[in-house]
Amino acid sequence: MRFYTMQHRYDCGIDLHARSLYVCILSQSGEVLVHRNLPADPDALLSAIAPYRDDIAVAVECIFTWYWLADLCRREKIPFVLGHALYMKAIHGGKTKNDRIDSRKIAGLLRSGMLPMAYVYPAEMRGTRDLMRRRTYLVRRRADLLAHIQNSNSQHNLPEFGRKIAYHIHRFPRVQDFASYARLVKCAKESAGKRPGSSGQKIGNVHLKWAFSEAAVLFIRANPCIPVATTTTPVLGRNVGSPSRLIGWPSRSLYITMSLSTGGCVLLPPSPEITGKRCGVQPYP
């Protein structure tokens, strides 16, 4: 979890919606200077913060409508902070919730240096990312429908019916960071020497988790010499052939391949050469 710790004379917290936004501006002493509802319009926002433009930072929770606000702050050279929605919920959760309270809490977190940050995706790459995510959704729906067709095809013993992903990897300094972003890392909860379980399972990219899970299943299906899921090794104490054990391999391979490629971006076809056909390979530690 990363926090925004830069200090400014004024801190602006915004509770953003599709058609409106609630603005709260605090001074360094915590005095509320502006606290009102505005239409989600660039001119209205710039007019509200105009008296404090000399040294102000703007913070907003990471929801689906933040693109235009980030572009506006970048164009106007205003520091912009995107708050991590799940972490913020854990920090400023309360019994009462409305736009006025939320904007005040966001401004307070920004002022105190306790605002958890989310990654502000570059404007030139957002369109590609959004299209890929929507394509993933449609592909999964297509697979569900094709499964029914394949089942009918198999029932009647009919002939059998006769993809590329690009990703920039340099935003992750280590393979561990990429694995954590892909929801492949279990974060332990520990207190007083006890570990009751794990947390953070919904923090990260659900699309990558799904893709790597599918890759692990396909790898097991294409390599019958891998021990089946019911076989347990005495060293690992886990199922060698289970997808949960193999799911880390594709993520590490993808990270290394993309890190070595030009520009940190590579196109990967789902060919057998990518998954490999070697058998008896020991799990990566």
Task: For 175-232, write each residue's pLDDT tens digit.
Answer: 888 888 888 877 777 777 777 777 767 788 888 888 888 888 887 788 777 665 444 4
Q: Is the pLDDT of residue 165 over 60?
A: no
Q: What pLDDT band is residue 268 in, cutting at 50, 70 and 90?
A: very low
Which pLDDT belongs to residue 36? Answer: 94
- 8 Å CB contact between 60 and 116: no
The values of phi and psi at residue 87, to 5°, are: -65, -40
Distance CA 49, CA 12 (A): 8
Strands 10-16, 20-27: pairing kind:
antiparallel
pTM above 0.75, yes or no: no
How far the first Cα of the chain sits from its last, in Å, is: 25
- 8 Å CB contact between 208 and 185: no
Span 249-267, pLDDT tens digits:
777 877 887 777 655 444 4
Closest CA to 69 of 52, 49, 91, 89: 49
Domains of the chain: 3-116 (3.30.420.40), 124-162 (no CATH), 163-285 (no CATH)
